[in-house]
Amino acid sequence: MTVFDSNIPPGPLPEKWQNWLDTHKLVGPRNRAGKNVIVIGTGLAGSSCAASLGAQGFKVKSFCFQDTPRRAHSIAAQGGINAAKDYANEGDSIHRLFYDTIKGGDFRSREANVWRLAQLSANIIDQAVAQGVPFNREYSGALATRSFGGVLVQRTFYTRGQTGQQLLLGAYSALEHQVRAGNVQVFNRHEMQDVVLVDGEARGVIVRNLITGDIERHAADAVVLASGGYTNVYYLSTNAMGSNVTATWRAHKRGAYFANPCYTQIHPTCIPQTGEYQSKLTLMSESLRNDGRIWVPRKSGDDRPPAEIPETERYYYLEERYPAFGNLAPRDIASRAAKVVCDDGLGVGGTGRGVFLDFRDAIAQQGKESIERKYGNLFEMYTRITGDDPYETPMMIYPAPHYAMGGLWVDYELQTTIPGLFAIGEANFSDHGANRLGASALMQCLADGYFISPHTVTAHLAKNHDEVSTSDSAFDEVESDVRSHIQKLMDVGGGTSAQAFHREMGHVMLDKCGMSRTAEGLDEALAEVREIKGEFWNDLRVDPGDEEFNQSLEYANRVSDFFELAELMIHDARRREESCGGHFREEHQTEDGEALRDDEHFAKTTAWEYGGDDPVPHDEALTFEEVQLATRSYK
Amino acid sequence: MNFTLEIWRQFDGTDETEAGRFETFKVTDINPDASFLEMLDQLNERLSHEKKRTIAFDSDCREGICGACSLVIDGTPHGPQQVTSCQTYMRDFIDGQTIKVEPYRANTFPVIRDLAVDRGALDRVIQAGGYISTTTGPQPEPNSMPVSPEIQEKAMDAAICIGCGACVAACPNGAAMLFTGAKVTHLNLLPQGQPERESRVIGMVEQMDAEGFGGCTNYGECSRVCPQEISIDVIGMLNREYRKAKTKKKSKPEKAMTTQ
């Protein structure tokens, strides 16, 4: 195990980022057009990074597998984005946002990164407003804010329940502006297959044109991965159908360390699963917990309509167990509490895996109109999917895989262990520790994309780089690996779709490496995942024709990487002998069932080096100067 | 539930010698709560099992917000309920019914394969002015530029467009005016959008024409199929803004780009 350097600049926490900015190397305006950057992914992080680098005058190639950059899955984020602006005059500050994020992450994130994130949060709102993002406003015309889980202030900015959509469309419009200006070239329906290293540095990528099937080479002076998270490893999740781990996983196999893969977030407020045919789970924004009260009947098997169950027979378990935060307890805690009451047989709905989210009291207090203004589109969406009307009867919700805190290991400059290869947004592991607070993902993606990576990538571009051509032998080798992997998938010749294998693996992962984990269960999961992987490579069916539009091949290609990632997640969960945030090991809990950390042995990030069946862990110790490690209590 | 599906199959949209055709499939034992796309997933799983080519169609978020799905179900873009195909459920159909499934029909959206089409023309309309030309950097304090909730609401009602292109597919003229009008309405209502108000609308309208989208003759089909229920008022706004911009002296529109 090596201890390695996260390149945190010297100086007191509040000054570190400015110190870094003051001293990093620049590229003069006339030299920028000669520097090329590849950005993979066009979500909030990727679009904002590509647009910002383009605006500086660098030449950017931006890739997405969707048919247009605007469809990246950031579009589906609902609730809001945090910023320490203190418009509500509550004494909010950079320090408070920093502390809430560190505590929310169960003291498993890097102080310097989180401080910078909190510092930049206010700039993001200003940037988005300047682009025309129509944030909700008060009657005065000033920006409106609301509250989210795990905090006691109102620092969340929102555009109805479609904040991710509007922020992404803002970043997308900035991207298209740079396309028009000739600085950015967008390659839609192109999927990254691998990264190309020359003399140990990232100098290009191999992509597959999803329409023609052509395998293409692209060279650059730096490569930025903004390819999102990996919770589709669970099959059913709130991610989009296409969300995948391929870009980061293939980079991992080329030498980028993968950090904390076992930290995944299971979001408490999703619409419960109803059947085997289901292809995804739909999130209902956490913002609903501002006004909705979560409860189950106190009596097991109580199947009276919810309205007929009297107050005394309702178990408002979050309010009772966590009186200070109540229904706004952080996600990991709220999810686990839902699992516990359902395991105890108190769950509602057809499967018994559901809890009520009830707006009765809020409607009585504030009026239907006020609730409609805040959550109208979410209520409509719920009605559309379930056929129930939340104005009349409580919603039913249950936790679902939603977000990956783990990802490629990056240093303070968001650079991976491969020089010249950067990872931003959900693709990296950086700021959320073992659990992410609500409305922080949008904040991190845009801080990385607008304000951090454009500078840290510049610092890399300022170094001297020899010209690299796509005819370099390094491209030959990687392209040949990519082609043989695709050929291997084409050649299996079985009779089962990739989706069927994906579903089977997802069940195992959710059951044994999901909300709650044990050493025994993880050992079983490893064996089962390997077995399903064996069947996949034995009985996979892919449509014929790899040099054409072939969605079954795209899907199988992604699933082949999920199998390998699943194994690494299990290794990581097995090695971390403690409970923290989204990682709950049943062996490590307090008497009243809360997560029990082991700071002595595990106040560290685990960054895995690729090693096939035997991955190699490396530790980065987490040192805390500003905060005191404390038991994370929301009571 | 059981259904008979007549699905458009087209091997390669770029090869004009390859004619498309309808192919009939029976699907059985479908859960009424399955979405239309989940029903197609099941059919594809079966086709894989039978070693037949699966049906190509676009989808991604499956919660009605990304705008990827692009089916025409029984003649209506997205389906009968004025929601995206991914939020169209089989309970919306009659058991035993025959359902016709086609790709979006519009010259500006060439077929890639089966039910998947190329909507790149809409990105190029945005490139012609669907943004505020600010770049990343220090920006004014937002509350120094108040926006009344009424204006914000109106801008937001237009900004919620998901770019799915159903409006184009529904329009007998293949017009993209609801799409373009929504973006112009969103940006031209806000104080931030004022400096480029005229160049924006002229640039976007000229790009629409260059792409080959038709003009509006007030059928109103666009708004009737729009899953975001964007009002046809945005087309009125587009026309007004365009007329004002064209009659104002000294406006300097950017030239339209060539297609592709």
Residue A506 above 80 pLDDT? yes
Range of the domain at A595: 486-610
Tell whether A597 is covered by a domain: yes
SS3 for B189? helix
Q: Does A503 qualify as catalytic in the annotation?
A: no
Mean pLDDT value of segment B199-209: 98
Give the C-alpha separation, A519 to A574, whole Å.
6
Check CB contact under 8 Å for A137 and B128. Answer: no
Q: What is the CA radius of gyration of chain A?
A: 24
Pick from A256-265, A607-616, A623-632, B20-29: least confident = A623-632
Mean pLDDT value of segment A601-606: 96
Chain A, residues 137-156, CB within 8 A of chain B, namely 137-143
**Whole-structure pTM value:** 0.96
Check CB contact under 8 Å for B44 and A497. Answer: yes
Tell whether B13 is covered by a domain: yes
Measured between beta carbons, which residues in chain A are less than 8 angstroms from residue B132?
A: 130-132, 173
**CATH number of domain containing B83:** 3.10.20.30
Q: Cβ neighbours of residue A527 under 8 Å, at least 6 residues apart? A: none
Mean pLDDT value of segment A522-546: 97
**CATH number of domain containing A314:** 3.90.700.10
Tell whether A338 is covered by a domain: yes
Check CB contact under 8 Å for A73 and B127. Answer: no
Tell whether A316 is covered by a domain: yes
What is the tally of structural domains in chain A? 2
Residue A464 above 80 pLDDT? yes
Check CB contact under 8 Å for B66 and A73. Answer: yes
Check CB contact under 8 Å for A71 and B38. Answer: no
Specify the pLDDT at position A286.
84
Gap from A583 CA to chain B (nearest CA, Å): 26
Specify the pLDDT at position A275.
81
Looking at B85, B117, B149, the residue that finishes a domain is B117
Among candidate residues A572, A580, A576, the one with its CA nearest the CA of residue A597: A580
* Same domain, yes or no: B196 and B104: no
Looking at B86, B117, B148, the residue that finishes a domain is B117
Give the C-alpha separation, A69 to A66, whole Å.
7
Measured between beta carbons, which residues in chain A are less than 8 angstroms from residue B143?
A: 87, 141-143
What is the tally of structural domains in chain B? 2
Mean pLDDT value of segment B67-77: 97
Residue A179 half-sphere exposure toward CB, CA atoms < 13 A: 27
Tell whether A202 is covered by a domain: no
Which helix H or strand E contains A54, and what residues bound it?
Answer: helix A44-56
Residue B17 above 80 pLDDT? no
Where b means 16+ CB within 10 Å and e means fewer, A345-373 reads: ebbbbeeebbbbbbbbebbeeeeeeebee
Among candidate residues A317, A336, A316, the one with its CA nearest the CA of residue A265: A336
Tell whether A583 is covered by a domain: yes
Specify the pLDDT at position A384.
86
Q: Cβ neighbours of residue B176 under 8 Å, at least 6 residues apart? A: B108, B121, B122, B125, B165, B167, B168, B208, B211, B213
Check CB contact under 8 Å for A165 and B162. Answer: yes
A311-332 pLDDT tens trace: 999 999 999 999 999 999 999 9
A226-262 pLDDT tens trace: 999 999 999 999 999 999 999 999 999 999 999 999 9
Residue type, position A493, single letter: G
Gap from B247 CA to chain A (nearest CA, Å): 26
**CATH number of domain containing B124:** 1.10.1060.10
Tell whether A570 is covered by a domain: yes
Give the C-alpha separation, A38 to A51, whole Å.
12
Specify the pLDDT at position A1.
43
Residue A78 above 90 pLDDT? no
- Predicted ipTM beyond 0.90: yes
Burial class (CB within 10 angstroms; exposed 0-12, middle 13-18, buried 19+) of A307: exposed
**Candidates A70, A71, A155, A331; catalytic one:** A331
* Same domain, yes or no: B88 and B176: no
Residue B259 above 70 pLDDT? no
* Same domain, yes or no: B193 and B94: no
SS3 for B23? strand
Tell whether A100 is covered by a domain: no
A433-460 pLDDT tens trace: 999 998 999 999 999 999 999 999 999 9
Tell whether A426 is covered by a domain: no
A383-433 pLDDT tens trace: 988 889 999 999 999 999 999 999 999 999 999 999 999 999 999 998 999
Of A55, A76, A280, the CB nearest to B136: A55
Specify the pLDDT at position A100.
95
A200-225 pLDDT tens trace: 999 999 999 999 999 999 999 999 99
A211: contact with B, CB 8 A cutoff: yes
Of A126, A275, A280, the CB nearest to B139: A126
Measured between beta carbons, which residues in chain B are less than 8 angstroms from residue A188?
A: 120, 123
SS3 for A375? helix
Range of the domain at B209: 120-247
Q: Which of B12, B46, B48 to mutate to test the interface with A (most CBs of A within 10 A)?
A: B48
Looking at B117, B147, B173, the residue that finishes a domain is B117
A10: contact with B, CB 8 A cutoff: no
Going by the DSSP 8-state scheme, the letter that residue A232 receives in this structure is G
Q: State chain A's mean pLDDT as an integer.
A: 95
Specify the pLDDT at position B260.
44
SS3 for B14? coil
Angle at B247 between CA B245 and CA B251, to 5 degrees: 50
Check CB contact under 8 Å for B54 and A179. Answer: no
* Same domain, yes or no: B113 and B124: no
Measured between beta carbons, which residues in chain A are less than 8 angstroms from residue B90?
A: none
Residue A457 half-sphere exposure toward CB, CA atoms < 13 A: 34
- What number of helices (H) and strands (E) belong to chain B? 8, 7
Residue A533 half-sphere exposure toward CB, CA atoms < 13 A: 20
Among candidate residues A572, A463, A452, A618, the one with its CA nearest the CA of residue A5: A618
Q: Which of A42, A127, A131, A278 to mutate to test the interface with B (most CBs of B within 10 A)?
A: A131
Task: Give all strands (DSSP E) within A74-116, no chain letters.
Answer: 81-82
Measured between beta carbons, which residues in chain B are less than 8 angstroms from residue A76?
A: 61, 63, 65-66
Q: Cβ neighbours of residue A530 under 8 Å, at least 6 residues apart? A: A567
Tell whether B258 is covered by a domain: no
Of A75, A139, A385, the CB nearest to B65: A75
Gap from A179 CA to chain B (nearest CA, Å): 7
Q: Which of A32, A81, A129 to mutate to test the interface with B (most CBs of B within 10 A)?
A: A129
* Same domain, yes or no: A490 and A393: no
Give the C-alpha separation, B197 to B211, whole Å.
22
Tell whether B254 is covered by a domain: no
* Same domain, yes or no: B129 and B152: yes
Q: State chain B's mean pLDDT as an integer.
A: 94
pLDDT cut 70: percent of chain B above it: 93
* Same domain, yes or no: A376 and A276: yes
